[in-house]
Amino acid sequence: MMKHKFKSLAILLLCFMVACKDGKQTEKTGALLFPQGDKNTNSNFKGDVWVKSLVEPDSLNENAVGNVTFAAGARSNWHTHPAGQILLATEGVGYYQEKGKAKIILRKGDSIKCPPNLAHWHGASQDTAFVQIAITGRQHGPTKWLEPVSDEDYRGL
Ligand code: MN
């Protein structure tokens, strides 16, 4: 009877050790929530940006969902979304600014609802990379791209 109890405890301890090891491994490799995707090559962004489309819009749901990774200092140009956009910050530190308003600092766990047809930009902070999920309504057409963000606006408060 005692022997059986010891065996059960030993198995329990082994399971605990394996669980701890797995936990540490995940932490060490910093497993990505979503794939980073391909490096952007168009001129709508400045700096190193990677984009991965997660959900394509269709007739049942007209939202496009994408994972966007900005290297430190990288940002979008000014732009508008005809049906607005929701940004979910999943990693790092980023910036978001609407035309005529102060820049907002975004950290992991923050969310932003960007109104339709309002000029804005988003990107990483100067020193830290930033990852966001962008949910963009496509029912009123594609994103309209405007001028690059000046260094003054990027660094400004
Ligand atoms: Mn946007």
Tell me, in angstroms, the distance from the centre of ligand 1 to residue 3's CA.
64
Tell me, in angstroms, the distance from the centre of ligand 1 to residue 77's CA.
9
Q: So where are the chain's domains?
A: 33-155
User: pLDDT category, 139, cuts 50, 70, 90?
Assistant: very high
Give the residue, 86 or 8, on which the prediction is more confident.
86
Mean pLDDT (the chain) is 88
pLDDT tens digits, 35-63: 999 999 999 999 999 999 999 999 999 99
CATH for the stretch 33-155: 2.60.120.10
> Would you tell me how many other CB atoms lie within 10 Å of the CB of residue 63?
17
Tell me, in angstroms, the distance from the centre of ligand 1 to residue 31's CA.
26
Q: What is the mean pLDDT of residues 84-94?
A: 98
Tell me, in angstroms, the distance from the centre of ligand 1 to residue 69's CA.
13
Distance of CA 147 to the CA centre of its chain: 23
The pLDDT value given to residue 132: 98
